[in-house]
Amino acid sequence: MKRNRKNIVVNILIIVVMLVTGIFAYSKTHQTIKKVAADNTSSNSAASVSAQADIATPPVEPPRLTYTGKIPILMYHYIRDYTDQGDPIGVGLSVSPAKFAAQLDYLKSKGYQTITFRDVEKNIVPAKSIILTFDDGYIDFYQNAYPELKKRQMTAVSYIVTGFNGGRYMNNSQIKEIASYGIEIGSHTISHQNLATISLAKAKNEITDSQPILENITGKPVISFCYPAGKFNDAVVALVKNSGYKYATTTKNGLADFTDPLILSRYRIGPDTNIASLIK
C-alpha cells in the first residue's frame, strides 16, 4: 500500500514536471518565431513566418534610403548659335549646338551617366552620375538639345515656366513628347517672378499651382523645382517643401550636396565654359 502511494506521488510529480517543461518549451519557440519575424520583415519567407506567428502584425515596408551624396549638376539655358553684340546677357546664356554635342561626347568618354532627380529619389545613383538641367523651357531645347541627347541615349531635366508656352518656348505637345522619352519635367513657376520679393501668397500660387499643370501635360509626378533667377529665402523653401517637391536647384555655383536637397548648387555653363575644368 505504502509503496503504491509513493509510486502514485512520483508519477504525478513526473507528469507535472513534463507539463511545466512542455509549456516552457512552447512559449520559448513561439517567442523565437516572433523574433525572427521581427528581424526579417522585408523577406517573403519571414513575412509568411510572421503571418503564422501573429496574423495581426501588419507587413512592414523596407525603409527607403535617401541619397545624401554629391552629384554635379550642369545649368544650361539656350542651346543655339547666337552672337548678338547688343544682347550680352543672351549671349552669356547660350551654348552652341556643336559645343553642346562635344560636351555630351566628353561626358560619355569619361564614363559619366546622365540621371534625373527621379533616379536620385529612387537612390539609383551610379558612381559617375551627372544631372543636366535646362532652365526656362526654350524651344531650342526641343530643336537642338533633345535630338543630341536622344542620339546618345542620354537624359536631362527641363524646367518649364507654365505661363510661357509656344513661340520662343516649347508648347504642350513638345513638353509631352520629351517627357515621354524620359526627360524629367520640373517646375520653374508660372511666370518666372522673384519669389523672394513677391508676397508669400503670390509665391505660393507660383510654386504650388504650376505643379498640377505640368503633371496634367506629362502624366508624371513633378518632384523637382528651380527658383527663378536663383532667388529664394527660408519661407520660399518651406513653400517648395510643403508643395511636395523633393529637389530644388539654385544658381549658386558648385557641386550639389544632397544633404540639402531643396537648395542644390549647379555649375553654370556659358558659351566659353570648358567642362573639362569642372568634370574630370
Q: Which residues bind to Zn ion, rule: CB under 5 A? A: 135-136, 228
Distance between CA atoms of residues 131 and 257, nearest Å: 13
Angle between helices 2-39 and 44-53 (to 10 degrees): 140
Other CB atoms within 10 Å distance of the CB of residue 263: 17
Cell digits for 267?
555649375
Nearer to Zn ion, 119 or 136 (CB): 136
Residue with C-alpha cell 510529480? Answer: 13
Distance between CA atoms of residues 225 and 167, nearest Å: 23
DSSP assignment letter at 55: T
Distance between CA atoms of residues 168 and 147, nearest Å: 18
Nearest to 192 by CA among 145, 157, 226: 226
DSSP assignment letter at 276: G
Other CB atoms within 10 Å distance of the CB of residue 51: 12
Distance between CA atoms of residues 30 and 42, nearest Å: 20
